[in-house]
Amino acid sequence: MKKEVFERFLKYIKIDTQSDDNSQTYPSTSKQFDLAKILQNELQEMGLKDVSLDEHCYLMATLPANTTKKIPVIGFIAHMDTSPDMPGVNVNPQILQNFDGKDIVLNQTKNIVLSTKEFPELLEYIGQTLITTDGNTLLGADDKAGIAEIMTAVKFLIDHPEIKHGTIKIGFTPDEEIGRGVDKFDVEKFNAEFAYTMDGGGIGELEYENFNAAHAKVIFNGRNIHPGYAKDKMINAMILAMEFNAMLPVNERPEFTQDYEGFYHLIKMEGSVENASIQYIIRDHDRKKFEAKKVFIKQTVDYMNAKYRENTVVLEIKDQYYNMREQVEKTFHIVETAKKAMEEIGIVPKVVPIRGGTDGARLSFMGLPCPNIFAGGHNFHGKMEYVPVESMEKAVQVILKIIALYSK
């Protein structure tokens, strides 16, 4: 399994599947089909049933049960796209065997170093095989590690028909990184009783709580006047944007929060004297605090419009997803089984809240309870991303063990 998941991962990360949050198409980029079609062919060659790739780049397949015993239909899901935050084309992975615990030079020319001081969790993987970037792109472990793990687990079950199991559903989605991963997901067609996303971080992570999430775009309408004659006339939209941002609580930025603490995260700025805009993502695990953050944003907009003039500041705000906990707790055995699966193969489960979101968060509210299991990678969305091969191998074993536990 180790060799297979390793080879699959290296194959998949070579395919550029970066999503685009400025696109209005589904999927947001047609190149996501490049990976989807490869996976479609592989699933068909394995002999899976009901392999389908729709016009929105949702790929689904079924591994039929090989026993008449009544067993729940279990789904496993991963996403095909990579983050727009960092280039995902021409990924050139570096393989570091028998990691010795020293700093890793990713790119000597650019002096990019994966430092054990800055990333001390590296020391947990001494003696293992690490796959890193070359310092120019992200790696793509988020979530091609999850895809490789699911594909490897399915192939193992096919090659070992003596292992009895119920019906297994496979789902690969587009556009998760831009919050649209399940916009067109057909839960009824998928037809699983529950599922797991293989989209977590380091080994042992098991998550059934995530942020409540919203996106806010704040537009500033200024007035451009020749600076020589601007007194009492000019309204500089960029200055307004800076004023607005300064009114948000500094201690509620991502760099100052952890665990269950929420934040306002400034993700984009653009503009001129005449027009400017800033965009935020708003996050909190607590629903009441989440709603309060949105109210505070609206009150700040109202304040600035009262200070200057009506419609000087315009707010566009949209909820993205909610905390899956309230849905998953209704079928909590799926979390307990995943935890037991890890323990039985020698992994210490790390049950932690996701400081982000997954496809599973929204799927849980669409009637498909879906906690999140580690895929093994670290430092997602950037050039410092890496994944230990042994962690991917363990993720495959967790999938197989979950299936085994439900098949008893």
| Residues belonging to the active site | 81, 176
Distance CA 263, CA 104 (A): 32
| Rounded-to-integer distance, Cα 43 and Cα 36, Å | 10
Rounded Cα gap, residues 127 and 225, in angstroms: 64
CB 131 within 8 A of CB 94: yes
- Closest to 399 in 3D by CA, of 345, 331, 328: 345
110, HSE (Cβ side, Cα atoms, 13 Å)? 10
DSSP secondary structure letter of residue 246 = H
Beta pairing partners, 268:
279
Q: What is the 3-state secondary structure (H, E, C) of 322-389?
A: CCCHHHHHHHCHHHHHHHHHHHHCCCCCEECCECCCCHHHHHHHCCCCCCEEECCCECCCCCCCEEEH
Q: List helix spans (H) across 208-332.
A: 237-246, 287-307, 325-328
Q: Rounded to an integer, what distance in angstroms lies between the CA atom of residue 233 and that of residue 3? A: 68
Asked whether 377 and 199 are in contact (CB, 8 A), the reply is: no
| Residue 120 structure tokens | 């001390």
